A = this chain, B = another copy of it.
């Protein structure tokens, strides 16, 4: 079975529309490149109970969960408390985190920064050489920062451990109305059950009115599906093949 993943973006600023979420799009592209099937993205508030219930549910259901945000030193950073609550463990001051913070932060900010040493019991630390603070992992939950530049660095430090066999995607651009090709796609879906067939209508001046994608972990299956659909279309409506 393919490995599956969920992404949980934690932050009132995203829900209120004040800040744009760039992290879930980044992680979706990365996971795809790694051959991991992302099955759920949730954006939730800085709220301990919401974090606890969302993470428990997704951690049980999928192989990996990646969180973004809520791990700084201020009162609205409650991701660690949420993780702990979701799994019925305590938040504890971790001696390794404490040592790292005392070493790497200016004396003036050590006290507040020490809040970041408080992590769920049983969490592991993974050192990331480019950053002051390590990546924290609790069970199958990888706790990433909200700042996109830092999230990227931390994710890249661990991404190879998630690599699976790649997805193969074929794409057809068609100048027909979606409803006129629906029956062909439905047949193809029945014949090639391991291939995900997607149909995406386009509007505007583009000659292609619909994009059809065929995705599989089996390259041959993706290719066969493409041939099957192409053969059933009037060649004049095929604008492009990728």
> Do A112 and B15 touch across chains, with their CB atoms under 8 A apart?
no
Contact of A182 among B15, B37, B115 (CB under 8 A): B115
Q: Which of A39-47, A121-129, A134-142 contacts B (4 or more CB under 8 A)?
A: A39-47
Neighbouring B residues of A77 by C-beta, 8 Å: 199
Q: Is A20 an interface residue (CB 8 A)?
A: yes
> Do B40 and A44 touch across chains, with their CB atoms under 8 A apart?
yes
> Do B32 and A112 touch across chains, with their CB atoms under 8 A apart?
no
Q: What DSSP secondary structure best describes chain A's contact surface?
A: mixed
How many monomers of this protein are in the complex? 2
Please, what's the 1-or-0 string for A94-111, where 1 marks a CB less than 8 Å from any CB in chain B? 000000000001101101
Q: Is A201 an interface residue (CB 8 A)?
A: yes
Q: Measured between C-beta atoms, what is the minimum distance from A239 to chain B in Å? A: 18
Contact of A179 among B30, B105, B167 (CB under 8 A): B105
Please, what's the 1-or-0 string for A180-191, where 1 marks a CB less than 8 Å from any CB in chain B? 111101100100
Neighbouring B residues of A46 by C-beta, 8 Å: 198
Cβ < 8 Å to B, chain A residues 133-163: 147, 149-150
> Do A109 and B147 touch across chains, with their CB atoms under 8 A apart?
no
Q: Is A177 an interface residue (CB 8 A)?
A: yes
Cβ < 8 Å to B, chain A residues 3-57: 12-21, 24-25, 28-32, 37-46, 50
Contacts A16-B32, A40-B44 aside, 8 further interface pairs with beta carbons under 8 A come to A15-B38, A19-B200, A42-B42, A73-B182, A74-B178, A74-B185, A76-B189, A112-B183
